[in-house]
Amino acid sequence: MRATPSPAQSLPASDEGISTPVPAAEIDASCRAPILFLLVSAAVWVVISSVLGMIGSLKFHAPGLLADSAFFTYGRVHPAALNALVYGFGMQAGLGVILWMLAHLGRTRLVGNVGIVMGGILWNIGMTAGVLGILGGDSTGYQLLEMPRYATFPLFIGYLMIGIGALLTFHTRRERQLSSSQWFALAALFWFPWIFSTAEFFLVGHPVRGALQMVLDSWYVNNLKTVWFGFAGLAAIFYFIPKLIERPLYSHYIGLFVFWTLALFGSWGAIPPGSPLPEWLPTLSIMGALLTIVPILAVAINVYRTKGDCAKIKESRSMKFFLFGTLAYIISGLAGAVMLLRRVSVVVNFTWFLPAQSQLLLYGFVAITLFGAIYHIVPRLLQTEFPSKGMICGTFFLAAAGILLYCVPLAIGGILQGLGMNDAAKPFSEVMNSSLVFLRISTIGDFLMLLANCLLLLNLIRIHVRAGRTVAAAAWAAHSNTAGVRA
């Protein structure tokens, strides 16, 4: 039996439950300045992240590269690259997409434009101070919380200003029926201030002692990756895929089931087996991680059963980003759950398998999904198309090939590395040397992702130039007509 979609997700939408909807053109006009600021800033940061990540990757093959500069040691450049990807790109692009979706799903204008732009400025000030602080050696040492305290205050205030604009937009919505994408987007807005303030207070402001620091940091990282980015990415997938193929989402109720199960169990799977903690903590984490398999499979069912015209799927330049992002989410989620099993963790823990799974989630799912959203949203905000369709396809194929060449070799190398470390007859140096070939292949993946990110930024620059020329030409024509009438 086919599940019944909610009215808010039916395409075309009916007028039931809508009071004086705002035309789409007016919604886009209200979104133009703040969302373009967030998306372009995010594109700049993803290029910065790739450049820093490329430097860190090359150091495995050429340890003397930039060895005279303390700023570019691996211990600094790697966390700086990761923070630039997560906070500089992922958070900003995610917030920009959430704002656009809330306005369009609510059929209302974006509220608080000035505050959102000011929040974006504060966020980028905090990001700049944080990344420079990490490179300067002022890191806190906690994973994904490396940015020093003086950088976190503008980040937090900037997020609150953007979040207030999003909540006001949701409050003034004309469409009262909520879709599953709105559930995910709203939960993400509230989730980050809670986990970020808690982790900063107990790890940086008033640090807890001993092993509790590891517990809190692992809890924060898992909530950020699994829940916040999971909510933001799934909100985009459940919104854009049905929209692009002009079909309703297979089941609104499966979407809500995914939301509640991910919210309840997604934050548990943080503590790997063998941690220096009471046994019940890793056991609880294993239980939570295994329970997240249920919403992951539900996502796969909901997307697969949302069938549409294959011709429309091929015609859409953005669809391939969302489908690849969905596949990456499923694989990375299943891998993240399985690798916490005790027999698997004994092999893959402390190996290259972990960064492979993390990068597949952060770049393969989050970044590539947000790339597709950017390529769909920006032409509507600027009321013009991208100058080159080939560069859009180039962004996708370079990003997809890059993440595959990065993750697959590291995953295989990590498993072999773990098996070797568990073999007492093999010297440790031999195990490490055997993983170099996989690192070299992953560096090619890093380079392809850098090219994809540069193409994205170049595309955004070109479409802004094209839109500027169109506006300038229209203004010149209007001025010439006015001058002719006066003459």
Question: Which residues, 6 or more positions from 423, have their beta carbon under 8 angstroms from its beta carbon?
Answer: none
Alpha carbon separation from 29 to 35, 361, 381 (Å, rounded):
10, 33, 7
Measured in whole angstroms, the distance separating CA 199 from the mean position of its chain's CA atoms is 20
pLDDT at 417: 94
Alpha helices in 292-388 (DSSP H): 293-305, 310-315, 319-338, 342-348, 353-359, 368-382
Neighbours of 155 (CB within 10 A): 22
Label residue 487 by pLDDT band (50, 70, 90): low
Please state the pTM of the whole predicted model: 0.93
Per the CB < 8 A criterion, the answer to whether 321 and 371 are in contact is: yes
Q: List the single range of 11-15, 25-29, 166-170, 376-380 with lowest mean pLDDT.
A: 11-15
Q: What is the pLDDT of residues 385-428, one digit of tens each?
A: 999 889 999 999 999 999 999 999 999 999 999 999 998 888 88
Q: What is the pLDDT of residues 153-190, one digit of tens each?
A: 999 999 999 999 999 999 999 998 999 999 999 999 99
Question: Which residues, 6 or more positions from 334, have their beta carbon under 8 angstroms from its beta carbon?
Answer: 293, 296
Measured in whole angstroms, the distance separating CA 455 from the mean position of its chain's CA atoms is 18
- Reply yes or no on whether the pLDDT at 308 is more than 70: no
Domain boundary assignment for the chain: 24-177
Per the CB < 8 A criterion, the answer to whether 369 and 90 are in contact is: no
Q: What is the pLDDT of residues 341-352, one digit of tens each?
A: 989 999 998 899
What tokens does 417 get?
């590395």
d(CA 465, CA 213): 48
Identify which of 453, 392, 393, 486 has the alpha carbon closest to the alpha carbon of residue 52: 453
What tokens does 281 get?
């903590």
**What's the mean pLDDT when you consider all of the chain?**
91
Per the CB < 8 A criterion, the answer to whether 140 and 147 are in contact is: yes
pLDDT at 9: 45
